[in-house]
Amino acid sequence: MNRFVDEMTELSAGVRYSLKGLEGIAPSASSVVELIDRQCARTPGAVAVSGAERRIGYAELAGDVSRLARRLRQEGVRPGQVVGVSAERSPELVVALLAVLKAGGAFLYLDPALPAERLGFMVEDADAALVLGGQERQPDFGGRRALPLDAQPLADEVAEDVEVAAAPGDLAYVIYTSGSTGRPKGILVEHAGLLNYVEWLVAEFSAGQPVTSLLHSPLGFDFSLSSLFLPLVTGGELRLAPAEFEHESLAEAIQDQSLDLVRLTPSHIEVLRAALDGRRDLPGARVLLIGGEVLRADQVAALRALFPSASLYNHYGPAEAIVGRCFQRLDESEEFRLADYAPGDPVPVGRPIPHTELVVEQGPDGAGELLIAGLGLARGYLNLPELTASSFVRSGADGRVYYRTGDQAVVDGHGRLTVLGRADDQVKVRGYRVELGEIEAALRTVDGVRAAAVVRTVRPHEALWAFVVGPGQSRLDAPELRADLQRRLPAYMVPHRLLALDELPLSAHRKLDRAALVAEAERIGLTATDDVAPPAGGGRLAEAYRACAQVLGVAEVRPTDNFLALGGDSITAMKLAAACRRLGIGLRSVRVLATDTLAEAFAGIEN
Ligand code: AMP
C-alpha cells in the first residue's frame, strides 16, 4: 500500500507505520566532548567561540575547559552528578558547559532570565552538587556551593589536559520543561543520545567543512543545542548573540552570508516577516534549520522569498528525544514541491535520523499519535517514576522503549511524516513549550481562587488568557497579582489577560469547554472598551495609538492599557515599531514590551 514505508502492520482499526533511520553506524567517539577535544587539537588557531566582548580560539577553549574540568573534579564532581550553570550567553558559559561534561558531570542550565523561585526549584529537584556562575545577580540556590566563572581565579589552575570522564551511558544534561501538574519536569539526557544527534548534524550539514552558527535562543530550550555543538565539532565558529538580543537584530544577523546554520522557529519567521517589512531576495545563512512548532507552507514561502539562497529544513523532535529526530529538506525538488501544499497546510517533517524509529498508529480517521524509539531517547523524567513509566512505554517482543510524544501525525504516500499538532493541553507560546495546566496550577494557589482555566488564542494574535473563578475583576487587574505570577512563572507563561468568571463552562461530557473560552477570549480581544480615551486628531501621538490598535487588531487602545495585556507580543511590538517608523516616530519594540502602560511606551512622542 505504501512502498516507501519501512514497515506497515494492519491493525484492527487502522494501520501502524514504522519509519526507520539508518542503523549500524558506529559512533565515532564516546561523547561529544571527546569530539570537541579532537577538534581543538586539529584547529588550535581557529576562532571557536565569539561573543559580544570576547572571542576565543580552539587552543584557548581546550585550555579553559581542561582547567575548569580539573577544578570540578577537585570539587568532587563525578558521573551522574548535576552541576548548575548560570550565565548569560558568553564564551565563559560555553567553557562551563563543556567543562562539566568533560569532568563527567551533567549540566543543568539555569537561565538568569527565569524567576529565582523556579531556578531554586530546579537546583533542588536535580540535587545539583554546585552552581557555576557569576554570583552578583544570582538568587540563593538553597546554600549550594557556587564557583564564579570569570577568568581570574581559574587562571591559577594548571592547564594540563584532563581526560574525558564521560561514558556513553552517563548523564550529559538535565533540561526542564513545563509540567502539567504545576511544576516543571526535568528530562534526563545521556551522552550516547546527544552524540547520536550531533553526529547526524555533522553528516547532514558539514561535508567535512567547518560550520559557523549563530546561537541566539535560550539554552534552556534544547533547540539551541544544534547551534551550540555543531561548530565546535567541525572547527567552525560559534557566534553568540548578545544577551539582550533585540528581535530586529535577528533579521540583520541572518543576512550574514558567512553563517552556515541558523536555527529558527516558525514564530521567528513571523518576526522576520515583520522586521523585514516587504523586503526580499536578501543574502542569508546557508542553512535555516526550522523546528519547534508546526511549520506551514505560507511560512516556507515567506522565508524563501526573504532568503532565496538559503536551504530550508523542517526538523522535529521533543526534548525527551533530544532536539530533533527527523528532518525534511524543503528546497524545491522531486521530493518536495511547495505548490502541492495550500498556504495553511503543515509541511512534512520527513524521515528519521540514524538510530531512530518513528511509529504512527493511524486510526480510521487517518492520524495517530507519534511514538519515538532508538538511541536518542532520554532516560526519563527526574524524580517522576510514574510519569516516566506512562510516557516511555515498553512494547513489542524485544521490549523496546517508545516515547509517547502526544503529537498527532500522519505518514504520506512518500513515506514521510507530517506532524499535525497536539491532542492535549500542551501549547507553544512564541516557540516556548507550555503546559496550560502548569499556569492553571499557579493560579489556583492564589488566595480566593476556586478554579482557573487558561487558553491560547491566535486571533487577533497569539496570547494566553486566564479565566478565573473566585476573585473579582479588580483583584485580577491588580498589579500585585501579575507581579506574583511573574515571580513564579517564566515571562512567556504569564497570561496576557486575566478575566473573572462565575464558573467555568463545561462541555456536554462535563469536561472543561476550552473551545468556548477561546471563542470568548477572541471575541473580547477583537473589541475594546473605552474609559480613558486616547488622543484624537491627526497628531503623531494619536497616529501612534491608532497604529497600535491596528497591529493588535482591536478597535481602540487606551493610554492606561498594557501592551501585553492586550495580547501584544514581540511580533506585534515589532510591527508597531515598524508602523511608527513609517510615521517618522522612533519607537523601539523592547520599550513597548517593557513598559506598564502605552502612555509610558509613548512618552516623548509629541502630538
Ligand atoms: P520541545 O520539547 O520544546 O522541543 O517541544 C516539542 C514539541 O514541539 C513537539 O512535541 C511538537 O509538539 C512541537 N514541535 C517541535 N518541532 C516541530 C516541527 N518541526 N513540527 C511540528 N511540531 C513541532
Residue 433 alpha carbon, nearest atom of ligand 1: 3
| Pocket lining: 316 vs ligand 1, CB cutoff 6 Å | yes
Residue 203 has pLDDT above 70, yes or no: yes
Write down the mean pLDDT value for the chain: 91
Summarize pLDDT for 121-136 with one digit per residue, the tens. Answer: 999 999 998 999 865 5
Q: Identify which has the larger pLDDT, 163 or 300.
A: 300
| Pocket lining: 419 vs ligand 1, CB cutoff 6 Å | yes
| Pocket lining: 435 vs ligand 1, CB cutoff 6 Å | no
Task: Tell which one of 294, 358, 493 to mutate to probe ligand 1, the residue whose CB is within 8 A of the most ligand atoms.
Answer: 294
Residue 327 — left, alpha, or beta (φ > 0 → left; ψ -120 to 50 → alpha)?
beta
- The residue type found at 385 is P
Residue 159 has pLDDT above 80, yes or no: no
Burial of 333 (0-12, 13-18, 19+ CB in 10 A): exposed
Q: CA–CA distance from 22 to each of 196, 326, 352, 355, 375 (Å)?
A: 12, 12, 8, 6, 11
d(CA 121, CA 59): 37
**Within 13 Å of residue 55, how many CA atoms lie on the same side as its CB?**
11
CA of 318 to the centre of ligand 1 (A): 5
Residue nearest to atom 20 of ligand 1 (CA): 294
d(CA 556, CA 377): 49
The whole-number average pLDDT for the span 12-28 is: 92
Residue nearest to atom 15 of ligand 1 (CA): 292
Summarize pLDDT for 384-402 with one digit per residue, the tens. Answer: 999 999 999 999 889 999 9
| Pocket lining: 265 vs ligand 1, CB cutoff 6 Å | no
Residue 39 has pLDDT above 50, yes or no: yes
Residue nearest to atom 7 of ligand 1 (CA): 318
pLDDT band at 423 (very low <50, low <70, confident <90, very high): confident
pLDDT band at 2 (very low <50, low <70, confident <90, very high): low
**Full set of structural domains in the chain with CATH:** 31-190 (3.40.50.12780), 436-524 (3.30.300.30), 540-601 (1.10.1200.10)
Residue 426 alpha carbon, nearest atom of ligand 1: 12
| Pocket lining: 292 vs ligand 1, CB cutoff 6 Å | yes
Q: Is the pTM higher than 0.85? A: yes
| Pocket lining: 58 vs ligand 1, CB cutoff 6 Å | no
| Pocket lining: 416 vs ligand 1, CB cutoff 6 Å | no
d(CA 113, CA 348): 33
pLDDT band at 108 (very low <50, low <70, confident <90, very high): very high
CA of 600 to the centre of ligand 1 (A): 37
CA of 295 to the centre of ligand 1 (A): 10
For β-strands 171-177 and 106-109, DSSP reports them as parallel
Q: How high is the pLDDT of residue 530?
A: 45
Residue 568 has pLDDT above 50, yes or no: yes
Residue 551 has pLDDT above 50, yes or no: yes
- The residue type found at 459 is R
- The residue type found at 424 is D
| Pocket lining: 266 vs ligand 1, CB cutoff 6 Å | no
The whole-number average pLDDT for the span 283-294 is: 96
d(CA 230, CA 238): 8
CA of 468 to the centre of ligand 1 (A): 29
Q: How high is the pLDDT of residue 158?
A: 58
Judged by average pLDDT, the poorest of 90-94, 312-316, 393-397, 440-444 is: 393-397
Spatial strand order of the sheet with 261-264 comes to 55-57, 47-50, 238-240, 213-215, 261-264, 287-291, 311-316, 326-329, 351-352
Q: How high is the pLDDT of residue 156?
A: 54
| Pocket lining: 314 vs ligand 1, CB cutoff 6 Å | yes
3-state secondary structure of 61: helix
Task: Tell which one of 428, 430, 456, 492 to mutate to probe ligand 1, the residue whose CB is within 8 A of the most ligand atoms.
Answer: 428
CA of 404 to the centre of ligand 1 (A): 13
3-state secondary structure of 351: strand
DSSP bridge partners of 55: 50
Cis peptide before 218, with omega less than 30 degrees from 0? no
Per this entry, what is the length of the chain?
607
- The residue type found at 585 is I
Task: Tell which one of 176, 407, 416 to mutate to probe ligand 1, the residue whose CB is within 8 A of the most ligand atoms.
Answer: 407
Residue 405 alpha carbon, nearest atom of ligand 1: 10
d(CA 86, CA 572): 30
Maximum mean pLDDT: which of 191-195, 243-247, 361-365, 483-487: 191-195
pLDDT band at 157 (very low <50, low <70, confident <90, very high): low
Summarize pLDDT for 333-355 with one digit per residue, the tens. Answer: 998 999 999 999 999 999 999 99
d(CA 39, CA 371): 35
Where b means 16+ CB within 10 Å and e means fewer, 70-89 reads bbbbebebeeebbbbbbbbb
Q: How high is the pLDDT of residue 135?
A: 59
